[in-house]
Structure 1
């Protein structure tokens, strides 16, 4: 690395004091509300850097460390994004299809395995994101620690995932309203395009307000989702124990009749993809690190809380559902609205009136939450790709309010596809669009685990101490190896299930709708290799950049604070020590 680059880096990586951020360029006083709004859309003011003598990789690294995104996300935002950010249609509606295909035991096993893998993955991401809190972290980590071509493929894979999910979730929110058809509610007689227009406008405005708008919206919606799931768990336990209107004890009856498995091991394998879709978005707390005021404090706590979310909001809630709804229930997986949700079916079967409508409203809010996250995830990834020359330069534009406005507008414009809801066969169109990103999360999580493994190898090869890390993954690099292995296994099992679906015969359409993501990722990877003619297939550990983009940490101060914190925790009760270990 050149001496000029090292000198420049010391000026831009000390972000704890706010260096290099937009906050350094705020006007001393307001010149009027309207004028401030207009000025806010102007390009961010950045100091020019002399890049003479730098390599292309060094220029890319310094540009990534100087992205003028505002750090407006607080600890409470990151906590709620981590806890409830990914709770959406995958859990509330998609799990119905999993129960029907796999049975209750298959659902619990499938979600538990993916959840276990994800806990290790999020610890790996937490370590990397605290060390390098840069926008578009997933693809940039792959560029730096694996291979630029693989980073290109992962970046566009992740951007396409959210780009497609955005209009799809808007339509899903409008479709869920059809649940109230049973009482001839006037709202269901309105064309879906009208509801889509309302949802589209709301989500667009939230994201135009910047990262603070995204954070506050997710904070509120996550609280609602958490309360709903906890409330359902309490309700379900009461009903299963015979506390419902008919006082009928259910217990684990449905695990024996009709049974625990619907299609044996193939049914378990089929659950993996839905579980991955239900968990997708968990990694957004890492993506938001670049816009977090203090990632060194916020991200470790958020990462630890993933365990509780997996245990309570997925494993416990789905276990309770499995006691209340048999996998042979004819309503499971038959519609896109709340009537096919196993949560709503469980409440209806209990004979409690009014409550199904309340939970269906929660489902609508959960779907809109995912749509909100889609704009955030896609726009930040596009901007990060542009910063390293892997997307059109126009996406590099960030305004004075720290908004990647061109990327946001591109995502919002693509979201206009939601108005295909007025077309009677829109479902077929979106099935194929969704196929582009069906396995996106598996590729993303696997790459995060491999990046962490390679990062630790580079730290060792370059003689760097792990004491430099403000946060270390709880299970170390071993969990990343397990997580990487599980992701590879899921890709293999999904190929098997896509080629020979449970209860069906091989069908090309079914296969590509389930597995199209894989050839798309391969096409991006090979295309980048051909375009750049860079035939190196990995970055050597001794050549990896372990410094640019990181937030400066005083090692001595960090070690002293860690010792003091450990001593304080040890002085407290056993219950507090257990709490701090997991939270």
Structure 2
């Protein structure tokens, strides 16, 4: 058997466990798989007619009414007809630069002013390690179960329906709120060049740009993110080179800097409490890293592309975040007044360092990159929100109409809801827009922390279920490089971040304790508690977590013959071991 053989997903769908009726009258392939889109691909009624027909619903069969809620959710997630149009290059670029946005380019400025350069590096390193462990755990789950809704659905599968309901709505709300926030941020970046035009005009342009991209479904999202991410990566690599030149005194007006700003004004702005305060900003900058897992169900071959994509996260953390922020901390003192009290590029430490060096023209280029990054995050927010909303309906957590998916594989109702909420961006023209958006941000401020902690917890529960049910990791085509230790670290660090944020929210740096400042940081937590207990009492489901022996570890698996899979994995490992050292290192990290 050839070790380098690749498999199309159609050859790996397990229909033996599916009580879903056939999509059509076709016989399917050797494994019984029938492509739900095949009946439409051959029809050609003209461009306009095909375009209209594409919005019609795609019927993917009926489901056994005797299934439990969890079984039904697992089955529908495995069979949800999202189109697998994302290619390997799309997933790789989404993993490398998909979530790079205002958190890094602008938010790092306020973090530098709050904590100092040492706090900046410490917070991003610890959060980065946690994120790498989380994405590795997510990669293992998504390769085994590339189902619609992905990690949102894993909470229901591996923990409990009540926790799944809580986390699914938490994640949906996070992305729903991000869209109007990013649209306003995009309009603000234009003020760097022209502040006279009403922000509503720019908001409208960006709004319809995001809508236009999402009309083309997952392929539109993939192509847009490929371009956006490439430009962001190119800009950060360019800044790293420029930052070294600036630090060494290569700027027209700047002399040698070295590490003088770490001595004066100092490495820490507020000691340990300053480090704790920076964690929420570092977490915000990594938000969206998990989208490569959400996209797993819409890739051509998750088993081939997803493991490589999860490994790319290491390079993004090490090269793009840690190195660039180290240079920012070296080149900009945390006492610079421009870091606070401004918005957009004016508060970006990247732009400030270039200005301090007296380099003309490049600040405008950096502002353009920030605008691209903002549009990228806005585009990702519609993708993330729409897929999560569809998953909510699949699991019975929202009205069934929310799960509407058309013949082009677009979750239309999810996209529509996201764009309707996005209209809140026009509040930018209101005199009280700052207060409104501060509270909107509070709704999603800590959402990512809960999401990442839950991913690690799901991984631990999956491994435990394998052990209890007499199964092993030898049946997994990809296993987390960090193992269960990495997931334990991820759960622990997320809990510590929540504790640190509670402390900072209750006793803000340089301010007296007050309810407003507390809830603007910690509002997400009481909302999650309300959601959790609402589901518990509404469904009268008092099961805190599923027992390991009852966890479903088969529905949604892409491999039909586990013994054949084990043999292939063993041969692949033997093949890699036979290669030179440099090849083994490359396969481990890439």
TM-score (norm 2): 0.94
1:217, 1:53 → 2: CA distance?
42
- 1:414 Cα deviation after fit: 1.0
- 1:196 Cα deviation after fit: 0.2
1:443, 1:56 → 2: CA distance?
23
1:31, 1:337 → 2: CA distance?
48
Residue deviations 1:468-506, cap 9 Å, x none?
A: 111100121110001100000100010000111112211
- 1:580 Cα deviation after fit: 1.8
Change in CA separation of 1:413 and 1:153 when aligned onto 2, cut-off 3 Å: same
- 1:56 Cα deviation after fit: 3.4
- 1:11 Cα deviation after fit: 7.8
1:393, 1:134 → 2: CA distance?
18
2:521 to 501, 514, 524: 514
- 1:76 Cα deviation after fit: 0.6
Aligned match of 1:184:
none
- Report if aligned partners of 1:229, 1:317 keep a CA contact under 8 Å in 2: yes
Change in CA separation of 1:575 and 1:417 when aligned onto 2, cut-off 3 Å: same
2:201, 2:523 → 1: CA distance?
32
- Report if aligned partners of 1:5, 1:54 keep a CA contact under 8 Å in 2: no
1:7, 1:169 → 2: CA distance?
41
Q: Does the alignment pair 1:6 with 2:35? A: no
- Report if aligned partners of 1:20, 1:68 keep a CA contact under 8 Å in 2: no
Aligned match of 1:48:
62
Counterparts of 1:474-513 in structure 2, within 5 Å, are: 474-513=481-520
Change in CA separation of 1:156 and 1:35 when aligned onto 2, cut-off 3 Å: same
- Report if aligned partners of 2:152, 2:168 keep a CA contact under 8 Å in 1: yes
Change in CA separation of 1:7 and 1:429 when aligned onto 2, cut-off 3 Å: closer
Counterparts of 1:272-291 in structure 2, within 5 Å, are: 272-291=279-298
Count, aligned residues: 572
Residue deviations 1:2-54, cap 9 Å, x none?
A: xx983637989x999893543333342311001100110001032334x1543
1:16, 1:406 → 2: CA distance?
34
- Report if aligned partners of 1:25, 1:45 keep a CA contact under 8 Å in 2: no
Change in CA separation of 1:55 and 1:340 when aligned onto 2, cut-off 3 Å: closer
Residue deviations 1:517-544, cap 9 Å, x none?
A: 1111111101111101111111000101
Q: Does the alignment pair 1:271 with 2:271? A: no
- Report if aligned partners of 1:44, 1:399 keep a CA contact under 8 Å in 2: yes
2:89 to 66, 76, 98: 76
Change in CA separation of 1:152 and 1:55 when aligned onto 2, cut-off 3 Å: closer
Change in CA separation of 1:314 and 1:424 when aligned onto 2, cut-off 3 Å: same
- 1:249 Cα deviation after fit: 1.3
2:336 to 303, 311, 329: 329
1:105 to 76, 100, 118: 118
Change in CA separation of 1:75 and 1:29 when aligned onto 2, cut-off 3 Å: same
Aligned match of 1:405:
412
| Deviation larger for 263-272 or 130-139 | 130-139
2:65, 2:417 → 1: CA distance?
33
Q: Does the alignment pair 1:468 with 2:475? A: yes
Secondary structure at the residue paired with 1:188?
A: coil
Aligned match of 2:355:
348
Secondary structure at the residue paired with 1:26?
A: helix
2:34, 2:494 → 1: CA distance?
37
1:22 to 36, 48, 54: 36
Q: Does the alignment pair 1:91 with 2:104? A: yes
Question: Unaligned regions of 5+ residues in structure 1, if any?
Answer: 181-186
CA RMSD of aligned residues (A): 1.9
Change in CA separation of 1:16 and 1:34 when aligned onto 2, cut-off 3 Å: farther
Counterparts of 1:350-499 in structure 2, within 5 Å, are: 350-499=357-506
Aligned match of 1:38:
52
TM-score (norm 1): 0.95
List 4+ stretches of structure 1 deviating above 4 A: 9-12, 14-18
Aligned match of 2:301:
294
